[in-house]
Amino acid sequence: MDLADIRSGETVLDLGCGSGTDTFFAALMAGDTGHVSGVDMTEELLAKAEQARMEVGFRTVSFHKAYIEDLPFDDGSMDVVLGNGVVNLSADKGQALREAARVLRRGGRLAISDIVAGQELPEHITADAMLWAAGIGGAMRRDDYRQALLDAGFRLITVRENPQYRFLSDAARSAGAVHGVRSVSLLAIRQAEKAAGRY
């Protein structure tokens, strides 16, 4: 969240917002003149988020049921796109990043935390549903992730490892150690001219 440097009056999108925790923090930073939209594909989590929004009285927050690969927002309508461990869960990460670029204005900021791998993951890991849920099974190689960002039209500014991040299960910790799986946070800027994709 700190890499996003959200400013008063900005329009923000939270990818995979879940029950809305990061969405609400972003709304506090964007202030009364900003707006934050959260998207998630899970109705139960969106219901919790909407209930919390109503209880707290956030007028500058809205929640939407959508997939991150197909966002219901206009081109160039966002100043900032946030995400916390959601791109690695996508079956089409390139499309998810292209959609983030599409909805960002030129010069807009992508600030996400995600799981990346130091090497290509073997099939017994990528096919394991529990390791997918743990954020490991879908992890891209670090270099491939960087290339996917460039291909989507981003300029990578900062990559920061998160050594405090811990996988919960023994299987996840073991797979992470063997294949160099790490949590990282990154900041990227939507370039003025497209690198690839549609916009």
Instruction: Give the model confidence (pLDDT) of 43-69 as tens digits.
Output: 999 999 999 999 988 999 999 999 999
The answer on 173 and 140 residing in a single domain is: yes
The domain tally of the chain equals 2
For the chain, give the mean pLDDT. 90
Alpha helix positions (H), 31-189: 43-56, 93-103, 123-126, 129-133, 142-152, 170-179
Structure pTM?
Answer: 0.90
Strand partners, 110: 81, 188
What count of Cα atoms within 13 Å lies in the side-chain half-sphere of residue 159?
13
Among 26-40, 64-78, 171-185, the range scoring the smallest mean pLDDT is 171-185
For 137, the domain range is 70-193
Alpha carbons 23 and 143: distance in angstroms, whole number: 29
The answer on 102 and 25 residing in a single domain is: no
pLDDT in tens, 2-37: 899 999 999 999 999 999 999 999 999 999 999 999
The answer on 121 and 26 residing in a single domain is: no
pLDDT for residue 198 is more than 70: no
CA distances from 194 to 71, 102, 126, 142, 190 (A): 19, 10, 31, 22, 8
Residue type present at position 20: G
